[in-house]
Every structure is written in structure tokens, then in C-alpha cells.
Amino acid sequence: MKTLIFWLAAICALTFGQSSIAADQNRDSDAVTYRPDITFTLRTDIAEGKLVFVGETDAIAGKINPDLNVPEGAVVQINLVNGDGAIHDIAIPEFGANSGHITAKGAATAMVFRATRAGKFEYLCTLPGHKAAGMFGQLIVGNPPEKAKSTAIDVAQDPYAVGQPVGNRPPKHLTLNLESTEIDGRLSDGSTYKYWTFDNKVPGPFVRVRVGDTITVNLGNARNSTHIHSIDFHAVTGPGGGAAVTQAAPGQTRSFTFKALHPGLFVYHCATPMVAQHIANGMYGMILVEPEGGMAKVDREFYVMQGELYTAQRHGTPGLQEFSLEKLLAENPDHLMFNGTMDALTKTHKMEANTGENVRIYFGVGGPNLPSSFHVIGEIFDKVYEHGTLSSPPVAEVQTILVPPGGATIVEFKVDYPGRYILVDHALSRMEKGLAGYLTVSGKANPTIFNSKEKIDATSGH
């Protein structure tokens, strides 16, 4: 059956690729052939919560949005098989190549074109919203020169960096040293941003103390900074949460001491005017004030914060992204992310657990403007400590928890079935601006919990 589909696709290709081949024919009729030098077959599908192309043959088999490598000057045929039943097509605009639409599951189409110049070119589905939903990849022609290696710093915070539990120790005096920095950071592959940070990470360090502790905070502002910075801990009882006495000019250090009076999970952030700009640029983090006796033990703990970037350039634009005051005031971010970058929790860092383990996520919203409807697709929170409080009993069996900007929550759940679980804000349009993370669960599948006639791939999520 597949062979028949591919031959039909090839016949279609003689029409869909006609314009690009005909142009070559006018230039050099002796060199033109309708027999492709290289053929790829892609299938449309849904994976990792997105619409995607999946490779069907040879080296690209099973790969999502695979790179298609071809020699310069080659005649290329790309077959497309409809695997999900939605309307799709495929095109490479820079070569003027496009297929027809396929509207039914199992239908096929194709396009044929000549790869006339070396470089990296995008292939995509041209249906409205489909590229944003994930249907795009790269055609790599010849051996394009490698781009210079970026010197941008990786600002993505490690979700495992939760510090050591305080246990059952008595209160004591602690010292916390932090540095505010302004650095060129990697936003995604091919794009950067001038982040403002605490200790070169977004969010800043996860601070872990116990109720009754006395904490001395030393905030140093890097000498090469160009702005004053400060810090406001929502866990502090005192002027500005500490911000009133920590306005540090470049090269200066400001200090204060406070006592942790209330247990809970609290946000901290820079509070130098204009405050929203400092927060948006990455200056936020969380402090956990554990109760007397400490937190109950779990198998896995993760640190996750949601943030926004307001840039003059649209989401997906390569190069340096520049801050936009107009978009900040309109509360219209171009990028939303977990842990500082577009792929912090999908590519840079891997959150993993095993079936049967209890997972705890310390989740906060840096903002500065948008709330989060925090949700893990395919899981139910067994316990939710609303607003980060540890003095009230948790709420049980929660699907989605609303967290305001500058707020926090603690969620706990047991992972019972293997697979990839996607962390999202259930304002789901925000996934298209980068807001997603993965929790990969390994272990033996239990068919009494979840059973499907189709094979489930625990590594790809489909």
C-alpha cells in the first residue's frame, strides 16, 4: 500500500515541481531530468504536543522534523503522507517549491525541485498556524559554512538545583551572597538576549532556609553593569523586602539581615525602577522557608519558574533580541519560557523520574505581568500547596493551579506510568511562544492504568 502511495506521490510531483524544473530546463535542457537524485518521505503526525513532520525512510526514519541533507544541484523529491487526518501541505519557499493539500489520513502528495544553491532552508506546512504549531524543519544543501560559535552564556536554570533540605536542625544564622549581572545570554538556537540576572542564571538561585533562621544577604552588583540593581524577598518582613537598602550601583555591594518568620515558598526579584523591566529581563527567583522539622521527603524535587520577554523582534527571529518598552507596557510578550530560555526544560535540561516515585515541583511566576495556569499534561496533582503556603493543609486531586505573577505554589504527584509529560501554562497559545517543559518518566507500563492498541513510545511521547 505504501509503495502505491509513494508512486502516486511521485506522479503528483511532476505537476507540483514543474515550475522549478521548467526554470532549469530553460537554462540547460541537457542537464535536466525528472528522475530525482534523492527522495525523502515524511508523514504528518502529532507528537510532543505539537503538529510535526516525521521521517519515514532510511536515515530519517522516526525522526521529528528531521534535517534533510542534499548535495548542491541535486533534484530533490519530498513525498508527504497524511498521518493524522488534518489538512496539510509542504513547501520550501526559497526554492519556490510547494505541494498540493492532502486532506485525508493516508493521502499523499509530493514536490520536486532542484537545490540550486548551498545553505540552510526551511521546509514547512503553509496552512495557517501549522508552522507555529511545530511543522517546520531544515533542508541543508551542500556544505554551508558553519556559523561562528556563539559566546552567549547559557542562563537556563537547572531544575534540579533545589539545594539541600534543612531537615530537623535548629534555627541558625546563614549568609547569602548574590551578584547581579547584565550578560549576553542564549535565548534559543540562533538567538540571544541581554539578560539581567542573579548569579548569571534565570531564575536566580533557589534559596533554602528554615523558619526562625536569621539570614544576612550581601548583594553585589557587577562592575560592568550599567544599571543599579536591588533585591526584594517576599519572605522578608521589612522595608521593601530588602529592596529599600540594597540599591547597589555598579561595583557596589549592599547588605541587610532578616529573620524568616513565616514558612512557605516565596518569590524574590529586583525592585529597582522600572521594576517590571528588571524582572522581565530575568531578575527573579524563589526562596523556600521550610517549616520546623523540614519538608516531608519525596523522591524528586524540581525548581521551575515562568517568565516573559518583551522584544522588538518577533518570536523566532534569529540574532540579538532587543528589549521593547512599548510591548512591556502593553503586556504583550513575544517570548514566554520556563527557566529562562525557549528550550531550558525541553532541550538544555532533562527532568526525569521513574514510575512509582513521588515528584515535587516548586513552581513560581516571575512575570512581571501574566499569571500561569500551571498544568502537567497527563498527570493530576495529588497535593497542591496553594500560594506556596506551608501552614495550611494542601488541596488534593488538582488538575490545574492558577499562580499569579510574583506568586508560587508547590505541587506533588506520584508518577504511575512511563512516558513524556509536558509542563505547560494552560493558556495554551503560550506554547507557541516557547512555554513548555518535559518530564520523562521511565519504567514498566501498567496496562490497568493506561492501555492503548497503539504502541506508546515513552521517549517521544507518541
List pLDDT tens digits, range 353-412: 999 999 999 999 999 999 999 999 999 999 999 999 999 999 999 999 999 999 999 999
> Strand, coil or helix: what is 21?
helix
| Per-domain residue ranges of the chain | 2-141, 173-290
CB 71 within 8 A of CB 142: yes
For 146, phi then psi, to 5°, come to -70, 140
> Does pLDDT of 10 surpass 70?
no
- Annotated binding residue 335: no
pLDDT of residue 456: 47
pLDDT of residue 9 exceeding 80, the answer is no
Residue 144: what pLDDT?
Answer: 74
Residue 227 is labelled as binding a ligand: no
CATH match of 173-290 with 3.90.45.10: no
Distance of alpha carbon 85 from alpha carbon 108, whole angstroms = 11
Q: Which helix (H) or strand (E) holds 18?
A: helix 18-27
pLDDT at res. 147 = 63
Instruction: Please indicate if the annotation marks 262 as binding a ligand.
Output: no
Cα atoms found within 13 Å of the Cα of residue 300, Cβ hemisphere only: 22
Q: Which tens digit of pLDDT belongs to each residue from 154-178?
A: 999 999 999 999 999 999 999 999 9
Start-to-end Cα distance in the chain? 23
How much is the pTM?
0.81
| Average pLDDT of the residues in 132-154 | 84
Cell matching residue 18? 514543474
| 2-141 fold | Immunoglobulin-like (2.60.40)
Who wins on pLDDT, 192 or 462? 192
**pLDDT score for 267:** 98
Whether 338 and 345 have beta carbons less than 8 Å apart is answered as yes
Asked if the model's pLDDT at residue 427 lies above 50, the reply is: yes
What cell does 52 get? Answer: 510535526
pLDDT of residue 335: 96
Of 32 and 224, the structure prediction assigns the larger pLDDT to 224
With 0-12 / 13-18 / 19 or more C-beta atoms within 10 angstroms meaning exposed / middle / buried, residue 133 is middle
Nearest to 343 by CA among 195, 238, 186: 186
Cell of 139: 533542508
**DSSP tally for the chain: helices H, then strands E:** 4, 29
Region 48-62: mean pLDDT is 90
Residue 278 annotated as lining a ligand binding site: yes
pLDDT of residue 454: 57
pLDDT higher than threshold 80 for residue 55: yes
Q: Is 295 flagged in the annotation as binding?
A: no
Q: Take residue 182 and report the three cell numbers written for it.
A: 547584565
Q: What is the pLDDT of residue 34?
A: 60
State what percent of residues in the chain have pLDDT above 90: 82
* DSSP letter, residue 8: H
The pLDDT, as a whole number, for residue 12 is: 45
- CA angle (229, 344, 152) in 5-degree steps: 60
Would you state the cell numbers that stand for residue 385, as one nine-digit string?
A: 500547596
- Please give the sequence-ordered ranges of beta strands (E in DSSP) within 127-283, or none if there are none: 136-141, 173-188, 191-198, 207-210, 214-221, 232-233, 253-259, 264-269
- Asked if the domains at 2-141 and 173-290 fall in one CATH topology, the answer is yes
User: Can you give the pLDDT at residue 73?
Assistant: 93
Q: Cβ neighbours of residue 432 under 8 Å, at least 6 residues apart? A: 132, 133, 315
88 belongs to an annotated ligand binding site? no
- Tens of pLDDT along 273-288? 999 999 999 999 999 9
**pLDDT tops 60 at residue 308:** yes
Q: pLDDT at residue 4 above 80?
A: no
Is residue 418's pLDDT more than 70?
A: yes
pLDDT of amino acid 205: 98
Enter the C-alpha cell of residue 58: 532510511
